[in-house]
Amino acid sequence: MNTGQKVWTRTFESHNWGPVLATGGGLVFAGGTNDRYFRAFDAKTGDLVWQWRTNSGITAVPSSFAVDGVQYIAVQSGWGVDAQRMQESLDKFRGTKTDVPQGASSGSSP
């Protein structure tokens, strides 16, 4: 039942540019912070279950797929021009300098 009530909140040191994927298995996947981590959270508690640091920032939508009955989550990593310019605007406002490598990678995990 959807009550519209907030169940949990997660605060990141940097803005979260990336989308979020919730799975039927009770996990929530999120990336898009300029610290380059792709994370999995417990959907009920918000506890961090798993994290992996990519070569660059994540701005793509995580996707879920199955092969021979095993579910996988995949995400594309590669900080593009749009995200870089948005980060530069935030840095200008905050008086900071954030460096996010432009290298790209992809990965998946069961």
What pLDDT sits at residue 76? 81
Question: CA angle at residue 35 from 76 to 45, to 5 degrees?
Answer: 85
> 0.75 cut: is pTM over it?
no
Please name which of 6, 41, 27 lies closest in space to residue 16, comparing C-alpha atoms.
41
Can you give the pLDDT at residue 33? 76
CATH architecture of 20-109: Beta Barrel (2.40)
The rounded distance, in Å, linking the Cα atoms of 35 and 32 is 8
Q: What is the mean pLDDT of residues 34-63?
A: 88
| pLDDT of amino acid 29 | 93
The residue type found at 39 is R
pLDDT the model gives residue 105? 52
Domain segments of the chain: what residues?
A: 20-109
- Report pLDDT digits (tens) over 86-99: 778 888 888 988 77
Higher-confidence residue of 96 and 108: namely 96
Distance, first Cα to last Cα, the chain: 28
